[in-house]
Chain A
Amino acid sequence: MQISIGSLRQQEALLRYGIIALTWVLGFCTRMYSVIRYESIIHEFDPWFNFRSTKLLVDEGTYEFWNWFDDRSWYPLGRVVGGTVYPGIMYTAAAMHSLFHFVGFKMSIKDVCVMTAPIWSGLTAVSAFLLTSEISDAGAGLIAAVSIALIPGYMQRSVAGSYDNEAIAITLLILCFWVFLRSVSTGSILWAALASLSYLYMVSSWGGYIFITNIIPIYVLVMLLAGRYSHRLYVAYCGWYVLGTVLSMQIRFVGFNAIQSSEHMGAMGVFGLLNLYVFVRWIRSFVSESTFRGLSQLVVVLAISIFLLAGFVGVASGFIGPWTGRFYTLLDPTYASKHIPIIASVAEHQPTTWSSYFMDLHLFVFLMPVGLYVVFNNITDQNIFIIVYGTAAVYFSGVMVRLMLVLAPAAVILGSVGLSDFLKTFMAVIKTRVIDMDPLAAEQPAAGSSSQKRKGKQKIGSASTKRRLRKEVAIGVIGFVFYMLSMYVRHSVWVTSEAYSSPSVVLSTKGPDGNRVFFDDFREAYYWLRQNTDEDSKVMSWWDYGYQLAGMANRTTIADNNTWNNTHIATVGRLLSAPEDLAYKICKKLDVNYVLVVFGGLLAFPSDDVNKFLWPVRITSSVDPTVVESDYLTADGAYSVGPDIGPALKQSMVYKLAYYRFAELKVLPGKVGFDRARNVEIGHPDVSLKYFEEAFTSENWLVRIYKVKQPDAYGWK
């Protein structure tokens, strides 16, 4: 029996889908290191809030979720969660949960949340394949699919347990760009409508949607300036903008910001400009050249005047909102460090060092310029888009390390285009040789005269010499490229397993025998709070731990990672930086029952409250000018907890709560109160407390909880 294996095209399609399917598996498995090394657990900080919200959505339903007023956060203010959240990831996980249950997988909502990012990494690979195929060809698309599944810049936010908005947003970002480019290629309203839908999903999922809101108009502007206007572009942009804006306004957190905030004005301006451009072109077809010139000047002056007037009136009346601090920081990288300490204090808002590019992009830093060169040599509508996207992404990634996430897809796509072109060039060299070595071609000159035979032999002889050399070079180059690709895979897997799989909630290190040692102090402390305190207790901590406290301890917090109220955070900062009597007054005003501090002096954990302390001081001083940073520094202007400690720091609650009874520990022989995180013997080991009492200290002293004393009827005793 003869088995038909189909045409070459079918085989190619089979191979293509097979590679994408395997890529999905590869991406999923690599992201499982966090579960294998630790356990199935929600990571870090924001994911705890997302998990808590998703659980409420699944348990209580969508109406309860939308109307949810969380009185357990930002006490006593509370938070209107339904109106201040990007609900995309919650609905995605809830839908996946329902789907799994429908097909018989009885997964808990926690496990679904943990697995969301790895599952979606496969969809990201598919999206990258589609977008790269649209820009270049399917070969480059396959390279992009495999590469994005492994690139550390994306992996860091998509390992199992990393249940944050970015887990799905990167997929949607690429998908939105692909669908938009499809609409530009086809001029189809259907594709433009699909672009709007994918934009809606993106808006519902991540605040980074603003990147799309601005990149697409910039692309359209570049197309106009480059003289590449087409009706396809008009249909695509206008369709996307009008539908997308109306749809995005349905997300409560965005609402009228879509037409009022400064971040969205660029898109609106380009919409107006594009229509003006089309209008002028239309007029041109009716009038003579001289009339057109006069008219066009009039129209331009009128349009600019109306635009400026509308902008002035909008800003002056408050109709157009100001740019957000993060947006300002993107335009002026020094802005946050000068004016907004709350933004500057966040680790992921710091500018990027060169080493991060190597860690997060590895081979694709080298391949990205090659891809840029290739697309510049073959300018198309699609290539212009990837140039605009890549340039903006690489610039913004330098401003904020967090935006490495946005750069990763651009680097992969451009790198894949470059690599594909590079490999195709050298593969063509090898293929050419095979065709030239055809015996028929070699025999052809034998039919001619003797002189022709001689010429033919000489030609073949010289050509074969050249071909042999070229083949060797080509094979060598291709071999080297594959070696580097294998190094890329090795690097990515290593970075994922060692650096990006830590959940932050559980710490680990390698012991002298090479075995992993775990420190579970955070959960120990949160569970202590959950089981040993009243259900309506209020726990004060620096805002970093607010989401974890609410998620794991289920207790009311004063501030959390939402950081929506700077004054409230500054109040918490004032409490931490104040002397005990003032701190007590603040505690009483805020009904605080417990104060939690994170202390890494015993465990040599550097990200503790003592090391972070200058940020609370700076944030507080931006609200309360009586708090001066230099008072917390040594006379030399340094930050130290040693003998030369600043006078205000010595009196501050952070110092007292962190080092209370610390001198009792024998950390190093002959040293009293030796802080391993800062490698210093603390200057004032005799810490006493009047209004606070130690309630709980975790096994490795990483988390310390203090109870605020209540006065009896006769005052303090």
Chain B
Amino acid sequence: MRSWHVLALFALSLVVQIDGVKYNSFESAMVQENKKLGGQLMRLPVQLFMDYVVSGKAHEKLNVITIMTAVGDCEPCRDQVAKFENSAKLFHRLHGFDSGFLFVNVEIDPNQALDGQVAGALGLEFVPIVYNFKPTRGGNRPQIRKGDSEMLPVDVPPDTSVINSYIAMQTSRVMPSVMNGPIHIVPILVAYEWTIIAAVIAVLAFCAKRGLYREKNFWMVIVFIVFCFSISGGHYDLIQSAPLLVFSNGVPLPVSLENQRNQFVLEGLLWCSFVGVVSILMLSLRDVAVQESVTRQHVLWCISMVATMYAIFGITSRVFSVKTPGYLKYAQ
């Protein structure tokens, strides 16, 4: 297989991963306006906000993430709006303008009757605050109701990582994961399923070129990979917890949220490691027995394998706050 074949496969895999979003006419206009602004924060008048966002017309398919601020001299509002704007720009640079998210700013004047009406409808008690007006999916919701909007976390500034995490959770394409640490391999695997498949095909082509298919050890490795993938619940993770890895400042960031399904991902990895270590230990013991003598190195190696296995479980449960289920404890 030539190199351009591999590139074409990668390109195809990336194309397959792109999901299209179809907007209504008003939403399209908003997105176009946003493009013209180059990702700068759109400032919506309250009337327009009331007519289109609160009524649901502007977010049949779009998530309208709105930072509510107060007119006049509001120092925290200015700070937060600046941060929010930076986040919006960065977000659009990373994800483009057709990502299904729109960032707007609405300034509320408590002295105006209409503004008071909006504040009342949203249950607004303080500013600045960030709301997401979730897609109504074409449903007819003439009046705003509790739950149509959602308040983002207010105890942290609305920087890119928080917004990215939130967006990822809302699109349900990210794994809200306990693995908000250095282990990024699983979300990457799951998020880039097609790319991985293309990469596997490329590797297989490489193996064919090198004649590895005639090696039985090559096939043994393939079989063990299939075994490990299956027993670690890989299919379950792909189907039930398919994530989208989001990038914050170029760093891949899965979202941290306690979730039983995502717990399975990490547990599956640990379980697979455990099975692998035990199997290796057994085979090592067997090989040692076949040989003439038991050397000190062999014994030390076996002890170190067991210690490593124990350490993996111990450290993981401490560092990542994994709730080790009963059976895993038993195995440990």
Q: A354-B268, A387-B223, A635-B147 are in contact. Are A398 and B286 (CB under 8 A)?
A: no
- Determine if B239 and A474 form an interchain contact, defined as CB atoms under 8 angstroms apart: no
Does B201 reach chain A (CB closer than 8 Å)?
no
Residues 274-332 (chain B) with a chain A CB within 8 angstroms: 275-276, 278-279, 282-283, 285-286, 289-290, 292-294, 325, 327, 331
Q: A354-B232, A391-B227 are in contact. Are A644 and B147 (CB under 8 A)?
A: yes
Does A469 reach chain B (CB closer than 8 Å)?
yes
- Determine if A351 and B235 form an interchain contact, defined as CB atoms under 8 angstroms apart: yes
From DSSP, what is the main secondary structure of chain A's interface residues?
helix
Q: A355-B327, A391-B226 are in contact. Are A365 and B148 (CB under 8 A)?
A: no
- Determine if B148 and A429 form an interchain contact, defined as CB atoms under 8 angstroms apart: no
Residues of chain B within 8 A (CB-CB) of A368 are 227
Does A366 reach chain B (CB closer than 8 Å)?
yes
- Determine if A334 and B239 form an interchain contact, defined as CB atoms under 8 angstroms apart: yes
Residues of chain B within 8 A (CB-CB) of A474 are 289
Residues of chain B within 8 A (CB-CB) of A398 are 229-231, 233-236
* A337, A369, A630, A636: the one within 8 Å of B224 (CB): A369
Q: A333-B239, A391-B226, A394-B227 are in contact. Are A370 and B282 (CB under 8 A)?
A: yes
Most buried by A among B150, B236, B240, B293: B236
Nearest Cβ on chain A to B108's Cβ, whole angstroms: 23
- Determine if B139 and A630 form an interchain contact, defined as CB atoms under 8 angstroms apart: yes
From DSSP, what is the main secondary structure of chain B's interface residues?
helix
Does A357 reach chain B (CB closer than 8 Å)?
yes
In the docked arrangement, what's the CA distance between A636 and B223, Å?
Answer: 44
* B146, B230, B331: the one within 8 Å of A635 (CB): B146
- Determine if A394 and B231 form an interchain contact, defined as CB atoms under 8 angstroms apart: yes
Residues 54-88 (chain A) with a chain B CB within 8 angstroms: none
Number of residues on chain B facing chain A (CB within 8 A): 49
- Determine if A358 and B327 form an interchain contact, defined as CB atoms under 8 angstroms apart: yes
- Determine if A353 and B216 form an interchain contact, defined as CB atoms under 8 angstroms apart: no
Does B271 reach chain A (CB closer than 8 Å)?
yes
Residues of chain A within 8 A (CB-CB) of B139 are 628, 630-631
Does A425 reach chain B (CB closer than 8 Å)?
yes
- Determine if B289 and A369 form an interchain contact, defined as CB atoms under 8 angstroms apart: no
- Determine if B224 and A466 form an interchain contact, defined as CB atoms under 8 angstroms apart: no
Does B103 reach chain A (CB closer than 8 Å)?
no
Nearest Cβ on chain B to A244's Cβ, whole angstroms: 27
In the docked arrangement, what's the CA distance between A379 and B217, Å?
Answer: 11
In the docked arrangement, what's the CA distance between A402 and B30, Å?
Answer: 49
Residues of chain A within 8 A (CB-CB) of B238 are 333-334, 351
Residue-wise, chain A 214-236 has the 8 Å CB interface mask toward B (1 for contact) of 00000000000000000000000
Between-chain CB contacts (< 8 Å), 29 pairs: A351-B236, A352-B233, A353-B233, A355-B233, A355-B325, A366-B278, A366-B279, A370-B282, A370-B283, A373-B283, A376-B217, A390-B223, A391-B223, A391-B227, A398-B229, A398-B230, A398-B235, A398-B236, A421-B286, A422-B282, A425-B289, A425-B290, A466-B293, A470-B289, A470-B293, A473-B294, A637-B134, A644-B146, A644-B147
Interface residues of A (CB under 8 A from B): 333-334, 337, 350-355, 357-359, 365-370, 372-373, 376, 379, 387, 390-391, 394-395, 397-399, 418, 421-422, 425-426, 428-429, 466, 469-470, 473-474, 477, 628, 630-631, 634-637, 644
Q: Apart from A369-B279, A372-B220, A477-B285, what are 18 other A-B pairs with CB-CB below 8 Å?
A: A334-B238, A337-B239, A350-B236, A351-B233, A353-B264, A354-B264, A366-B278, A369-B227, A369-B276, A370-B279, A376-B216, A376-B217, A376-B220, A398-B231, A422-B285, A426-B289, A474-B289, A635-B145
